[in-house]
Amino acid sequence: MGLQSCIGGTTLQTLKLASIPTLSSSRLVSRPVQLKALTLDFFLLSRHGRSRRSPFPLLARALSAPAIAFQTETPPEEKGNAVLKPQWKAAIDFKWIRENKEAVAVNIRNRNSNANLEAVIELYDKMSDLQKEVERLRGERNAVANKMKGKLEPSERQRLIEEGKNLKEGLVTLEEDLLKLTDELQQEAQCIPNMTHPDVPIGGEDCSVIRKKVGSPPQFSFQIKDHLQLGKELDLFDFDAAAEVLSLFNLSGSKFYYLKNEAVMLEMGLINWTLSEVMKKGFIPLTTPEIVRSSVVEKCGFQPRGANTQVYSIEGSDQCLIGTAEIPVGGIHMDSILAESLLPLKYAAFSHCFRTEAGAAGAATRGLYRVHQFSKVEMFVLCKPEESDLYHEELIKIEEDLFSSLGLHYKTLDMASGDLGAPAYRKFDVEAWMPGLERFGEISSASNCTDYQSRRLGIRYRPSEPSSASPKKGKANLAPPRFVHTLNATACAVPRMIVCLLENYQQEDGSVTIPEPLRPFMGGLEIIAPKSR
Partner 1 sequence: MKGKLEPSERQRLIEEGKNLKEGLATLEEDLLKLTDELQQEAQGIPNMTHPDVPIGGEDCSVIRKKVGSPPQFGFQIKDHLQLGKELDLFDFDAAAEVSGSKFYYLKNEAVMLEMGLINWTLSEVMKKGFIPLTTPEIVRSSVVEKCGFQPRGANTQVYSIEGSDQCLIGTAEIPVGGIHMDSILAESLLPLKYAAFSHCFRTEAGAAGAATRGLYRVHQFSKVEMFVLCRPEESDLYHEELIKIEEDLFSSLGLHYKTLDMASGDLGAPAYRKFDVEAWMPGLERFGEISSASNCTDYQSRRLGIRYRPSEPSSASPKKGKANLAPPRFVHTLNATACAVPRMIVCLLENYQQEDGSVTIPEPLRPFMGGLEIIAPKSR
Closest approach of partner 1 to the CB of residue 204, in Å:
32
Closest approach of partner 1 to the CB of residue 23, in Å:
13
Work out which of 111, 333, 376, 485 binds partner 1, going by CB under 8 A: 333
Query: By CB under 8 A, which span of 5-13, 114-122, 146-154, 208-216 interacts with partner 1?
Result: 5-13
CA dist 462 and 67 (Å) reads 13
Query: At how many degrees (to 10) do helices 117-147 and 101-110 cross?
Result: 140
Does position 267 interact with partner 1 (CB under 8 A)? The reply is yes
Residue with Cβ nearer partner 1 (270 or 413): 270
Which string of x and - marks every residue 18-57 that binds partner 1 (by CB under 8 A)? xx----------------xxxxxxxx--x-----x-xxx-
Side chain identity at residue 502, one-letter code = L
Q: Which of 416, 409, 279, 408 is CA-nearest to residue 347? A: 279
Does position 227 interact with partner 1 (CB under 8 A)? The reply is no
Q: C-alpha 274: how far from its chain's center? A: 16
HSE (side-chain half, CA atoms, 13 Å) at 445: 16
10 Å Cβ neighbour count for 510? 15
HSE (side-chain half, CA atoms, 13 Å) at 93: 14
Residue with Cβ nearer partner 1 (104 or 242): 242
* Contacting residues for 263 by C-beta, under 8 A, at least 6 apart: 231, 236, 237, 498
CA dist 135 and 126 (Å) reads 14
Does position 395 interact with partner 1 (CB under 8 A)? The reply is no
DSSP designation for 215: S
Closest approach of partner 1 to the CB of residue 453, in Å:
14
Residue with Cβ nearer partner 1 (94 or 256): 256
Residue with Cβ nearer partner 1 (5 or 26): 5
Does position 15 interact with partner 1 (CB under 8 A)? The reply is yes
Work out which of 231, 301, 323, 328 binds partner 1, going by CB under 8 A: 328
Where in 360-389 is the site for partner 1 (CB under 8 A)? 372-373, 375
Sign of CA dihedral 79, 83, 87, 90: negative
Work out which of 124, 350, 410, 428 binds partner 1, going by CB under 8 A: 350
- H or E, element range at 212: strand 209-214
Helices in 363-472 by DSSP H: which ranges? 388-405, 452-457
Where in 299-318 is the site for partner 1 (CB under 8 A)? 312-316
Work out which of 119, 160, 202, 241 binds partner 1, going by CB under 8 A: 241
Closest approach of partner 1 to the CB of residue 52, in Å:
8
Closest approach of partner 1 to the CB of residue 63, in Å:
5
* Contacting residues for 378 by C-beta, under 8 A, at least 6 apart: 324, 325, 326, 329, 348, 349, 350, 351, 488, 489, 490, 491
Residue with Cβ nearer partner 1 (242 or 424): 242
Q: What 3-state DSSP class applies to 465?
A: coil
Does position 323 interact with partner 1 (CB under 8 A)? The reply is no
CA dist 88 and 86 (Å) reads 5
Where in 508-527 is the site for partner 1 (CB under 8 A)? 523
Closest approach of partner 1 to the CB of residue 244, in Å:
6
Work out which of 354, 425, 433, 483 binds partner 1, going by CB under 8 A: 354
